[in-house]
Structure 1
Amino acid sequence: MKKTKFLLIIILVSSLIITSCGGSEVTSVKKTETDAPERAQSLANDSDNAAEEVEHQIEPKLYRVGETAIVDDAYAITIIGVVETEERNQFSDKQVEQVLIIDYIYENLSLADEDIYISDMNFKFVDEGGNMCDSYPVGEIYPPEHTPMGARTLTSMTIGTINHSNEIRVLYYNNMFDSKPTAEFILTVGTVVEPDLFGQTPVYENMYSAGDIIEIKTESGDYTLCIDSVKLITERNQFSDKTPAEVYKIAYTYSNISHEEDIYISEMDFRIIDKNGNMAFSYPGNTSKYPQATIKGARCSAEMIIGTHTEGDVLILCYTDNLFSNTSDVKILLNTK
Protein backbone atom coordinates (compact mmCIF):
# COMPACT_ATOMS: atom_id res chain seq x y z
CA MET A 1 0.00 0.00 0.00
CA LYS A 2 2.83 2.35 0.90
CA LYS A 3 4.50 1.54 -2.40
CA THR A 4 1.25 2.38 -4.24
CA LYS A 5 0.92 5.74 -2.48
CA PHE A 6 4.58 6.51 -3.13
CA LEU A 7 4.13 5.65 -6.80
CA LEU A 8 1.06 7.89 -7.07
CA ILE A 9 2.97 10.77 -5.49
CA ILE A 10 5.85 10.30 -7.97
CA ILE A 11 3.41 10.30 -10.92
CA LEU A 12 1.62 13.43 -9.62
CA VAL A 13 4.89 15.35 -9.07
CA SER A 14 6.19 14.31 -12.49
CA SER A 15 3.00 15.47 -14.20
CA LEU A 16 3.23 18.82 -12.43
CA ILE A 17 6.84 19.26 -13.55
CA ILE A 18 6.00 18.33 -17.14
CA THR A 19 3.01 20.71 -17.14
CA SER A 20 5.05 23.60 -15.78
CA CYS A 21 7.85 23.02 -18.29
CA GLY A 22 5.78 22.47 -21.39
CA GLY A 23 2.64 24.47 -20.61
CA SER A 24 1.55 27.69 -22.29
CA GLU A 25 2.23 31.06 -20.70
CA VAL A 26 -0.89 32.60 -22.27
CA THR A 27 -3.16 34.20 -19.67
CA SER A 28 -5.86 35.69 -21.90
CA VAL A 29 -7.10 35.63 -25.50
CA LYS A 30 -9.60 38.11 -26.98
CA LYS A 31 -10.42 40.11 -30.08
CA THR A 32 -9.13 43.69 -30.12
CA GLU A 33 -9.34 46.76 -32.35
CA THR A 34 -5.75 48.00 -31.87
CA ASP A 35 -2.33 46.49 -32.47
CA ALA A 36 1.10 47.08 -30.95
CA PRO A 37 1.90 50.72 -31.93
CA GLU A 38 -1.50 52.13 -30.83
CA ARG A 39 -1.56 49.96 -27.72
CA ALA A 40 1.97 51.04 -26.82
CA GLN A 41 0.98 54.70 -27.16
CA SER A 42 -2.02 54.14 -24.92
CA LEU A 43 0.12 52.42 -22.30
CA ALA A 44 2.67 55.22 -22.57
CA ASN A 45 -0.05 57.81 -21.91
CA ASP A 46 -1.22 55.86 -18.88
CA SER A 47 2.37 55.65 -17.69
CA ASP A 48 2.84 59.41 -18.15
CA ASN A 49 -0.25 60.11 -16.07
CA ALA A 50 1.03 57.86 -13.31
CA ALA A 51 4.45 59.44 -13.48
CA GLU A 52 3.00 62.87 -12.70
CA GLU A 53 2.41 61.64 -9.16
CA VAL A 54 6.05 60.53 -8.77
CA GLU A 55 8.62 63.19 -7.88
CA HIS A 56 12.06 63.26 -9.48
CA GLN A 57 11.04 60.86 -12.25
CA ILE A 58 14.17 60.14 -14.35
CA GLU A 59 13.54 59.70 -18.07
CA PRO A 60 15.98 57.65 -20.15
CA LYS A 61 18.25 59.68 -22.42
CA LEU A 62 17.14 59.79 -26.07
CA TYR A 63 20.02 60.64 -28.39
CA ARG A 64 19.75 62.66 -31.58
CA VAL A 65 21.98 62.93 -34.63
CA GLY A 66 25.37 64.19 -33.52
CA GLU A 67 24.92 63.28 -29.85
CA THR A 68 27.26 60.70 -28.34
CA ALA A 69 26.15 57.76 -26.22
CA ILE A 70 28.96 56.60 -23.90
CA VAL A 71 28.55 53.04 -22.64
CA ASP A 72 30.13 52.26 -19.25
CA ASP A 73 33.02 54.64 -20.04
CA ALA A 74 34.26 51.83 -22.29
CA TYR A 75 33.17 52.93 -25.76
CA ALA A 76 31.11 55.59 -27.49
CA ILE A 77 28.57 55.63 -30.33
CA THR A 78 27.59 58.68 -32.37
CA ILE A 79 25.10 58.63 -35.24
CA ILE A 80 26.21 61.38 -37.58
CA GLY A 81 23.60 61.26 -40.33
CA VAL A 82 20.41 59.73 -41.74
CA VAL A 83 19.76 60.35 -45.44
CA GLU A 84 17.28 58.89 -47.89
CA THR A 85 18.49 57.34 -51.14
CA GLU A 86 16.51 56.58 -54.29
CA GLU A 87 18.77 53.63 -55.10
CA ARG A 88 17.13 50.20 -55.06
CA ASN A 89 18.54 46.70 -55.31
CA GLN A 90 17.04 44.96 -58.34
CA PHE A 91 17.86 41.57 -56.85
CA SER A 92 16.08 42.17 -53.54
CA ASP A 93 12.48 41.04 -52.95
CA LYS A 94 12.04 43.41 -50.01
CA GLN A 95 9.19 45.91 -50.47
CA VAL A 96 10.14 49.18 -48.80
CA GLU A 97 8.79 52.72 -48.76
CA GLN A 98 12.13 54.39 -48.11
CA VAL A 99 15.75 53.35 -48.10
CA LEU A 100 17.77 55.16 -45.43
CA ILE A 101 21.54 55.27 -45.05
CA ILE A 102 22.62 55.69 -41.43
CA ASP A 103 26.21 56.79 -40.84
CA TYR A 104 27.72 56.28 -37.40
CA ILE A 105 31.00 56.31 -35.52
CA TYR A 106 32.02 54.09 -32.64
CA GLU A 107 35.15 54.58 -30.57
CA ASN A 108 36.99 52.26 -28.21
CA LEU A 109 37.70 54.40 -25.17
CA SER A 110 39.20 51.98 -22.65
CA LEU A 111 38.84 48.31 -23.67
CA ALA A 112 42.46 47.24 -23.97
CA ASP A 113 41.66 43.53 -24.26
CA GLU A 114 38.88 43.81 -26.82
CA ASP A 115 38.76 45.22 -30.35
CA ILE A 116 35.12 46.30 -30.39
CA TYR A 117 32.88 45.55 -33.35
CA ILE A 118 29.46 47.19 -33.76
CA SER A 119 27.35 46.34 -36.82
CA ASP A 120 23.70 46.68 -37.85
CA MET A 121 23.08 43.41 -35.98
CA ASN A 122 23.46 45.39 -32.74
CA PHE A 123 20.57 47.69 -33.68
CA LYS A 124 16.80 47.51 -34.08
CA PHE A 125 14.89 50.03 -36.19
CA VAL A 126 11.30 51.31 -35.94
CA ASP A 127 9.70 53.62 -38.52
CA GLU A 128 7.15 56.36 -37.82
CA GLY A 129 4.28 53.92 -38.32
CA GLY A 130 5.57 51.67 -35.55
CA ASN A 131 6.88 49.03 -37.95
CA MET A 132 10.08 47.10 -37.34
CA CYS A 133 12.49 47.77 -40.19
CA ASP A 134 15.15 45.55 -41.67
CA SER A 135 18.51 46.09 -43.33
CA TYR A 136 18.40 46.71 -47.07
CA PRO A 137 21.15 45.64 -49.51
CA VAL A 138 22.07 48.73 -51.48
CA GLY A 139 25.12 50.87 -52.17
CA GLU A 140 28.73 50.53 -51.14
CA ILE A 141 29.37 51.36 -47.50
CA TYR A 142 32.32 51.47 -45.19
CA PRO A 143 32.07 48.20 -43.28
CA PRO A 144 32.42 47.95 -39.50
CA GLU A 145 35.93 47.14 -38.31
CA HIS A 146 37.28 45.48 -35.18
CA THR A 147 38.51 48.55 -33.33
CA PRO A 148 41.34 48.54 -30.75
CA MET A 149 41.51 50.88 -27.78
CA GLY A 150 42.17 54.48 -28.78
CA ALA A 151 40.73 54.07 -32.28
CA ARG A 152 37.38 54.80 -33.94
CA THR A 153 35.45 53.41 -36.89
CA LEU A 154 33.35 55.38 -39.34
CA THR A 155 30.79 53.05 -40.89
CA SER A 156 27.28 52.88 -42.33
CA MET A 157 24.17 50.75 -42.34
CA THR A 158 21.22 50.81 -44.73
CA ILE A 159 17.60 50.04 -43.81
CA GLY A 160 14.22 49.98 -45.53
CA THR A 161 11.08 51.46 -43.94
CA ILE A 162 7.50 50.16 -44.25
CA ASN A 163 5.88 53.59 -43.79
CA HIS A 164 7.31 56.86 -45.06
CA SER A 165 8.97 58.43 -42.02
CA ASN A 166 10.37 61.80 -41.07
CA GLU A 167 11.74 60.31 -37.87
CA ILE A 168 12.89 56.81 -36.94
CA ARG A 169 13.76 55.09 -33.67
CA VAL A 170 17.09 53.30 -33.53
CA LEU A 171 17.75 51.08 -30.52
CA TYR A 172 21.28 49.91 -29.76
CA TYR A 173 22.01 46.66 -27.88
CA ASN A 174 25.43 45.95 -26.40
CA ASN A 175 24.40 42.31 -26.55
CA MET A 176 22.20 41.59 -29.56
CA PHE A 177 20.32 38.97 -27.53
CA ASP A 178 19.29 41.44 -24.80
CA SER A 179 15.65 42.48 -24.52
CA LYS A 180 16.43 45.95 -23.13
CA PRO A 181 18.34 48.43 -25.30
CA THR A 182 21.60 49.92 -24.09
CA ALA A 183 20.86 53.26 -25.80
CA GLU A 184 18.03 54.70 -27.87
CA PHE A 185 18.22 57.25 -30.69
CA ILE A 186 15.44 59.37 -32.20
CA LEU A 187 16.67 60.43 -35.62
CA THR A 188 15.29 63.00 -38.05
CA VAL A 189 15.66 61.88 -41.65
CA GLY A 190 17.79 64.31 -43.65
CA THR A 191 19.88 65.41 -40.68
CA VAL A 192 23.66 65.20 -41.09
CA VAL A 193 26.56 66.50 -38.98
CA GLU A 194 30.20 66.70 -39.97
CA PRO A 195 32.20 63.96 -38.25
CA ASP A 196 35.28 64.82 -36.24
CA LEU A 197 37.92 62.45 -37.60
CA PHE A 198 40.96 64.21 -36.20
CA GLY A 199 42.60 63.03 -33.02
CA GLN A 200 45.69 61.45 -31.54
CA THR A 201 47.60 58.45 -32.79
CA PRO A 202 47.04 55.54 -30.40
CA VAL A 203 50.11 54.36 -28.50
CA TYR A 204 50.62 50.67 -27.74
CA GLU A 205 53.36 48.75 -25.99
CA ASN A 206 55.78 46.50 -27.86
CA MET A 207 55.06 47.73 -31.38
CA TYR A 208 57.17 46.35 -34.22
CA SER A 209 58.44 48.20 -37.30
CA ALA A 210 58.55 47.63 -41.05
CA GLY A 211 61.25 45.11 -41.90
CA ASP A 212 61.01 43.27 -38.57
CA ILE A 213 60.64 39.51 -38.99
CA ILE A 214 58.08 38.65 -36.33
CA GLU A 215 57.94 35.04 -35.14
CA ILE A 216 54.50 33.98 -33.98
CA LYS A 217 54.17 30.79 -31.94
CA THR A 218 50.82 29.01 -31.68
CA GLU A 219 49.58 25.68 -30.33
CA SER A 220 49.46 24.41 -33.93
CA GLY A 221 52.94 25.53 -34.90
CA ASP A 222 55.12 28.56 -35.63
CA TYR A 223 55.27 31.07 -38.50
CA THR A 224 56.75 34.48 -39.28
CA LEU A 225 55.31 37.73 -40.58
CA CYS A 226 57.13 40.77 -41.98
CA ILE A 227 55.81 44.04 -43.36
CA ASP A 228 58.17 44.67 -46.26
CA SER A 229 57.08 48.13 -47.41
CA VAL A 230 54.29 50.69 -47.50
CA LYS A 231 53.78 52.97 -50.49
CA LEU A 232 51.46 55.95 -50.96
CA ILE A 233 49.69 55.66 -54.32
CA THR A 234 47.72 58.25 -56.28
CA GLU A 235 45.54 55.98 -58.42
CA ARG A 236 41.84 55.91 -57.61
CA ASN A 237 39.16 53.42 -58.63
CA GLN A 238 36.54 55.24 -60.71
CA PHE A 239 33.92 52.60 -59.89
CA SER A 240 34.25 52.87 -56.11
CA ASP A 241 32.03 55.15 -54.02
CA LYS A 242 34.64 55.28 -51.30
CA THR A 243 36.44 58.61 -51.01
CA PRO A 244 39.78 57.97 -49.30
CA ALA A 245 42.02 60.84 -48.26
CA GLU A 246 44.98 58.57 -48.97
CA VAL A 247 45.53 55.13 -50.47
CA TYR A 248 48.42 52.83 -49.59
CA LYS A 249 49.86 49.63 -51.03
CA ILE A 250 51.32 47.46 -48.28
CA ALA A 251 53.64 44.56 -49.13
CA TYR A 252 54.18 41.75 -46.65
CA THR A 253 55.74 38.28 -46.42
CA TYR A 254 54.83 35.33 -44.24
CA SER A 255 56.51 31.94 -43.88
CA ASN A 256 55.32 28.64 -42.48
CA ILE A 257 57.92 27.29 -40.07
CA SER A 258 56.21 24.32 -38.44
CA HIS A 259 52.45 24.40 -39.14
CA GLU A 260 51.26 21.10 -40.56
CA GLU A 261 48.28 22.94 -42.04
CA ASP A 262 48.81 25.62 -44.67
CA ILE A 263 49.20 29.23 -43.53
CA TYR A 264 47.12 31.90 -45.30
CA ILE A 265 47.35 35.59 -44.32
CA SER A 266 45.23 38.17 -46.15
CA GLU A 267 44.15 41.76 -45.55
CA MET A 268 41.22 40.39 -43.54
CA ASP A 269 43.71 39.46 -40.82
CA PHE A 270 44.79 43.09 -40.36
CA ARG A 271 43.07 45.99 -38.58
CA ILE A 272 44.72 49.22 -39.67
CA ILE A 273 44.65 52.59 -37.90
CA ASP A 274 45.60 55.95 -39.43
CA LYS A 275 47.48 58.78 -37.72
CA ASN A 276 44.30 60.35 -36.34
CA GLY A 277 42.99 57.14 -34.79
CA ASN A 278 40.55 56.17 -37.55
CA MET A 279 40.21 52.61 -38.75
CA ALA A 280 41.30 52.28 -42.38
CA PHE A 281 39.33 50.28 -44.95
CA SER A 282 40.01 48.00 -47.89
CA TYR A 283 40.14 49.74 -51.25
CA PRO A 284 39.84 48.20 -54.73
CA GLY A 285 43.14 48.65 -56.54
CA ASN A 286 45.74 46.86 -58.62
CA THR A 287 48.04 44.36 -56.96
CA SER A 288 50.48 41.91 -58.50
CA LYS A 289 51.05 39.64 -55.51
CA TYR A 290 48.28 37.69 -53.81
CA PRO A 291 48.25 35.61 -50.62
CA GLN A 292 48.43 31.85 -51.09
CA ALA A 293 47.98 28.84 -48.86
CA THR A 294 51.57 28.24 -47.77
CA ILE A 295 52.90 24.82 -46.83
CA LYS A 296 55.41 24.08 -44.06
CA GLY A 297 58.88 25.22 -45.03
CA ALA A 298 57.69 27.77 -47.62
CA ARG A 299 57.02 31.51 -47.71
CA CYS A 300 54.59 33.79 -49.56
CA SER A 301 54.78 37.49 -50.47
CA ALA A 302 51.55 39.42 -50.98
CA GLU A 303 50.14 42.94 -51.24
CA MET A 304 47.04 44.71 -49.95
CA ILE A 305 45.57 48.11 -50.71
CA ILE A 306 43.87 50.21 -48.04
CA GLY A 307 42.31 53.65 -47.83
CA THR A 308 42.30 56.13 -44.95
CA HIS A 309 39.82 58.81 -43.95
CA THR A 310 42.53 61.37 -43.14
CA GLU A 311 46.04 62.18 -44.25
CA GLY A 312 49.01 61.29 -42.09
CA ASP A 313 52.54 60.00 -41.91
CA VAL A 314 52.02 56.83 -39.87
CA LEU A 315 49.86 53.70 -39.90
CA ILE A 316 49.41 51.10 -37.18
CA LEU A 317 48.78 47.55 -38.39
CA CYS A 318 47.07 45.32 -35.86
CA TYR A 319 47.46 41.68 -36.87
CA THR A 320 45.32 38.88 -35.47
CA ASP A 321 46.11 35.19 -35.80
CA ASN A 322 42.38 34.43 -35.81
CA LEU A 323 40.27 36.84 -37.86
CA PHE A 324 37.27 36.03 -35.63
CA SER A 325 39.18 37.01 -32.49
CA ASN A 326 38.25 40.14 -30.53
CA THR A 327 41.88 40.96 -29.79
CA SER A 328 44.94 41.83 -31.85
CA ASP A 329 48.06 39.71 -31.37
CA VAL A 330 50.69 41.97 -32.99
CA LYS A 331 50.89 45.73 -33.57
CA ILE A 332 53.25 47.23 -36.16
CA LEU A 333 54.03 50.95 -36.52
CA LEU A 334 54.71 52.08 -40.10
CA ASN A 335 56.16 55.41 -41.18
CA THR A 336 54.50 56.22 -44.49
CA LYS A 337 56.36 59.34 -45.62
Structure 2
Amino acid sequence: MDVKKWLFAGSVLFCSVLLVACEYFDQTNEVKKVKETPVVQEKSEVKDPVVEEQKTEAEKPTAPKEAERVKLGETIGNDQIEVTFLNAYYTDDRNEYCDVKADKVLVIEYEYKNLAVEDGFSLFEGIHYQVYDGSGHLLKNYPSMEARYGGEVSIGRSTTGSDALAVVGDQTHYEIEIGDVIVEFDLE
Protein backbone atom coordinates (compact mmCIF):
# COMPACT_ATOMS: atom_id res chain seq x y z
CA MET A 1 0.00 0.00 0.00
CA ASP A 2 1.17 3.49 -0.63
CA VAL A 3 1.41 6.22 2.02
CA LYS A 4 -1.92 7.88 1.10
CA LYS A 5 -3.84 4.64 1.63
CA TRP A 6 -2.11 4.09 5.00
CA LEU A 7 -2.93 7.63 6.10
CA PHE A 8 -6.56 7.23 5.00
CA ALA A 9 -6.90 3.88 6.82
CA GLY A 10 -5.28 5.33 9.94
CA SER A 11 -7.54 8.38 9.99
CA VAL A 12 -10.64 6.17 9.57
CA LEU A 13 -9.51 4.00 12.50
CA PHE A 14 -8.75 7.07 14.63
CA CYS A 15 -12.19 8.60 13.91
CA SER A 16 -13.91 5.31 14.76
CA VAL A 17 -12.15 5.05 18.11
CA LEU A 18 -12.90 8.71 18.82
CA LEU A 19 -16.62 8.25 18.05
CA VAL A 20 -16.85 5.19 20.32
CA ALA A 21 -15.09 7.06 23.14
CA CYS A 22 -17.37 10.08 22.73
CA GLU A 23 -20.46 7.84 22.75
CA TYR A 24 -19.24 6.17 25.96
CA PHE A 25 -18.52 9.57 27.54
CA ASP A 26 -21.98 10.86 26.56
CA GLN A 27 -23.65 7.76 28.03
CA THR A 28 -21.85 8.09 31.38
CA ASN A 29 -22.67 11.79 31.56
CA GLU A 30 -26.34 11.03 30.83
CA VAL A 31 -26.40 8.57 33.72
CA LYS A 32 -24.80 11.09 36.07
CA LYS A 33 -27.17 13.84 34.96
CA VAL A 34 -30.15 11.64 35.62
CA LYS A 35 -28.80 10.64 39.04
CA GLU A 36 -27.81 14.16 40.13
CA THR A 37 -30.80 16.07 38.74
CA PRO A 38 -33.39 16.53 41.47
CA VAL A 39 -36.97 15.76 40.61
CA VAL A 40 -39.16 18.80 41.09
CA GLN A 41 -42.85 18.11 41.47
CA GLU A 42 -45.26 20.77 40.38
CA LYS A 43 -47.64 22.05 43.00
CA SER A 44 -51.18 21.05 42.28
CA GLU A 45 -53.93 23.60 42.31
CA VAL A 46 -55.57 24.19 45.66
CA LYS A 47 -58.80 22.21 45.77
CA ASP A 48 -61.94 23.11 47.63
CA PRO A 49 -61.92 20.83 50.70
CA VAL A 50 -65.68 20.30 50.37
CA VAL A 51 -65.30 18.80 46.87
CA GLU A 52 -62.12 16.78 47.57
CA GLU A 53 -62.69 13.03 47.48
CA GLN A 54 -61.83 10.90 50.48
CA LYS A 55 -59.17 8.24 49.88
CA THR A 56 -59.80 4.70 50.97
CA GLU A 57 -57.36 2.99 53.33
CA ALA A 58 -55.75 1.13 50.40
CA GLU A 59 -55.09 4.38 48.51
CA LYS A 60 -53.47 6.29 51.39
CA PRO A 61 -49.70 6.58 51.11
CA THR A 62 -47.67 4.64 53.60
CA ALA A 63 -44.73 6.05 55.54
CA PRO A 64 -41.34 5.18 54.06
CA LYS A 65 -39.61 2.22 55.65
CA GLU A 66 -37.22 3.25 58.41
CA ALA A 67 -33.64 2.50 57.39
CA GLU A 68 -31.76 -0.09 59.41
CA ARG A 69 -28.80 1.56 61.18
CA VAL A 70 -25.53 -0.28 61.76
CA LYS A 71 -21.95 0.60 62.75
CA LEU A 72 -18.60 0.18 60.99
CA GLY A 73 -17.48 -3.44 61.01
CA GLU A 74 -20.98 -4.93 60.76
CA THR A 75 -21.67 -7.06 57.67
CA ILE A 76 -24.74 -6.21 55.62
CA GLY A 77 -26.12 -7.67 52.44
CA ASN A 78 -28.72 -9.77 50.69
CA ASP A 79 -28.80 -13.03 48.76
CA GLN A 80 -26.52 -11.46 46.07
CA ILE A 81 -23.71 -9.69 47.98
CA GLU A 82 -22.24 -9.03 51.42
CA VAL A 83 -20.53 -5.75 52.31
CA THR A 84 -18.59 -4.73 55.41
CA PHE A 85 -17.38 -1.15 55.84
CA LEU A 86 -14.28 -1.89 57.88
CA ASN A 87 -12.70 1.44 58.78
CA ALA A 88 -12.81 5.18 58.18
CA TYR A 89 -10.09 7.78 58.74
CA TYR A 90 -8.83 11.16 57.53
CA THR A 91 -5.75 11.34 55.33
CA ASP A 92 -3.28 14.16 54.73
CA ASP A 93 -2.89 13.02 51.11
CA ARG A 94 -3.88 15.85 48.75
CA ASN A 95 -3.99 15.97 44.97
CA GLU A 96 -2.47 19.23 43.75
CA TYR A 97 -4.24 18.89 40.38
CA CYS A 98 -7.72 18.35 41.81
CA ASP A 99 -10.19 21.22 41.72
CA VAL A 100 -12.56 19.61 44.28
CA LYS A 101 -12.56 21.65 47.49
CA ALA A 102 -11.69 19.52 50.53
CA ASP A 103 -11.09 20.71 54.07
CA LYS A 104 -10.53 17.05 54.99
CA VAL A 105 -10.22 13.88 52.93
CA LEU A 106 -12.15 10.93 54.34
CA VAL A 107 -11.02 7.40 53.42
CA ILE A 108 -13.47 4.53 53.81
CA GLU A 109 -12.16 0.96 53.67
CA TYR A 110 -14.52 -1.89 52.84
CA GLU A 111 -14.74 -5.57 51.94
CA TYR A 112 -17.34 -7.16 49.68
CA LYS A 113 -18.21 -10.71 48.73
CA ASN A 114 -20.10 -11.92 45.66
CA LEU A 115 -22.65 -14.50 46.77
CA ALA A 116 -24.64 -14.99 43.55
CA VAL A 117 -23.96 -12.36 40.83
CA GLU A 118 -23.06 -14.54 37.83
CA ASP A 119 -21.40 -11.82 35.75
CA GLY A 120 -19.18 -10.77 38.65
CA PHE A 121 -19.59 -7.91 41.12
CA SER A 122 -17.71 -4.68 41.86
CA LEU A 123 -18.65 -2.18 44.57
CA PHE A 124 -18.69 1.49 43.52
CA GLU A 125 -19.27 4.62 45.60
CA GLY A 126 -21.90 6.75 43.90
CA ILE A 127 -23.55 3.72 42.29
CA HIS A 128 -24.00 1.13 45.04
CA TYR A 129 -23.60 3.44 48.03
CA GLN A 130 -23.39 7.13 48.90
CA VAL A 131 -21.71 8.90 51.81
CA TYR A 132 -23.26 11.91 53.57
CA ASP A 133 -21.87 14.22 56.21
CA GLY A 134 -23.67 15.13 59.45
CA SER A 135 -25.51 17.96 57.68
CA GLY A 136 -26.92 15.56 55.09
CA HIS A 137 -24.68 16.74 52.24
CA LEU A 138 -23.49 14.14 49.74
CA LEU A 139 -19.70 13.81 49.72
CA LYS A 140 -17.85 13.82 46.40
CA ASN A 141 -15.06 11.46 45.34
CA TYR A 142 -11.57 12.83 45.85
CA PRO A 143 -8.66 11.53 43.75
CA SER A 144 -6.27 10.20 46.39
CA MET A 145 -3.46 7.66 46.35
CA GLU A 146 -5.21 5.94 49.27
CA ALA A 147 -8.28 5.04 47.18
CA ARG A 148 -7.97 1.46 45.90
CA TYR A 149 -10.40 -0.15 43.46
CA GLY A 150 -11.27 -3.61 44.78
CA GLY A 151 -11.99 -5.15 41.40
CA GLU A 152 -14.63 -7.49 40.08
CA VAL A 153 -15.06 -10.77 41.92
CA SER A 154 -16.75 -13.97 40.82
CA ILE A 155 -19.26 -15.94 42.89
CA GLY A 156 -17.87 -17.06 46.24
CA ARG A 157 -14.95 -14.61 46.10
CA SER A 158 -14.27 -11.45 48.07
CA THR A 159 -11.92 -8.47 47.95
CA THR A 160 -11.18 -5.21 49.73
CA GLY A 161 -11.07 -1.64 48.49
CA SER A 162 -11.27 1.95 49.64
CA ASP A 163 -12.67 5.27 48.50
CA ALA A 164 -11.51 8.81 49.29
CA LEU A 165 -14.10 11.56 49.68
CA ALA A 166 -13.88 15.34 50.00
CA VAL A 167 -15.23 16.75 53.26
CA VAL A 168 -16.13 20.44 53.37
CA GLY A 169 -16.38 22.13 56.76
CA ASP A 170 -15.76 20.80 60.23
CA GLN A 171 -17.80 17.60 60.02
CA THR A 172 -17.49 14.70 62.47
CA HIS A 173 -20.58 12.53 61.81
CA TYR A 174 -20.98 10.47 58.61
CA GLU A 175 -23.54 8.09 57.15
CA ILE A 176 -23.00 5.54 54.40
CA GLU A 177 -26.30 4.81 52.67
CA ILE A 178 -26.42 1.44 50.93
CA GLY A 179 -29.86 0.25 49.92
CA ASP A 180 -32.15 0.51 52.94
CA VAL A 181 -29.24 0.34 55.42
CA ILE A 182 -27.29 3.24 56.90
CA VAL A 183 -23.81 2.69 58.32
CA GLU A 184 -23.09 5.56 60.69
CA PHE A 185 -19.89 6.61 62.41
CA ASP A 186 -18.13 9.58 63.99
CA LEU A 187 -14.56 10.82 63.46
CA GLU A 188 -12.85 13.66 65.31
Does residue 336 of the first structure (1) align with residue 187 of the second (2)?
yes
CA distance in 2, matches of 1:288, 1:205: 27
Report the Cα offset of residue 272 of structure 1.
1.1
Structure 1 residue 290, shift from structure 2 partner: 1.4
Q: Is residue 210 from structure 1 mapped to residue 75 from structure 2 by the alignment?
A: no
1:225 paired residue number: 83
Q: Does 1:174 align with 2:174?
A: no
Instruction: List per-residue Cα deviations over 1:24-53 (Å, max 9, x = no partner).
Output: xxxxxxxxxxxxxxxxxxxxxxxxxxxxxx
Higher relative contact order (CA closer than 8 Å, sequence separation 6+): 2
| Alpha-carbon distance between aligned partners in 2 of 1:292 and 1:304, rounded to the nearest angstrom | 13
Q: For 2:40 and 2:105, how far apart are their aligned partners in 1?
A: 33
The aligned residue for residue 107 of structure 2 is 249
TM-score where L is the length of structure 1: 0.36
**Which structure would you say has the larger Rg?**
1
User: How much does 1:232 deviate?
Assistant: 0.7
Report if aligned partners of 1:266, 1:291 keep a CA contact under 8 Å in 2. Answer: no
Supply the distance in 2 between the matched residues of 1:295 and 1:334 (Cα, whole angstroms).
30
The structure with the greater share of residues assigned to helix is: 2
Identity of aligned residues (%): 16
Trace 1:314-333 onto structure 2 (pairs within 5 A).
314-319=173-178, 328-333=179-184
The one-character-per-residue Cα deviations of 1:193-238 (angstroms, maximum 9, x if unpaired) are xxxxxxxxxxx64211100011323xxxx22000010011122211
**Per the alignment, do residues 279 and 231 of structure 1 end up closer, same or farther by CA in structure 2, a change over 3 Å counting?**
same
Q: Aligned with 2:176: secondary structure?
A: strand
For residues 267 and 334 of structure 1, the distance between their equivalents in structure 2, rounded to whole angstroms, comes to 17
1:333 aligns to what SS in structure 2? Answer: strand
- Paired residues, what number? 135
**Structure 1 segments (4+ residues) deviating >3 Å:** 144-147
> Which consecutive residues of structure 2, in runs of 5 or more, have no partner in the other structure?
1-31, 44-65
Matched, 1:265 2:127: no
Distance 2:40 2:147 in 1: 41
Structure 1 stretches of 5 or more lacking a match?
Answer: 1-117, 122-143, 148-172, 176-180, 183-203, 320-327
Aligned to 2:60: none
TM-superposed CA distance for 1:331, in Å, is 1.4
- Provide the aligned C-alpha RMSD in A: 2.8
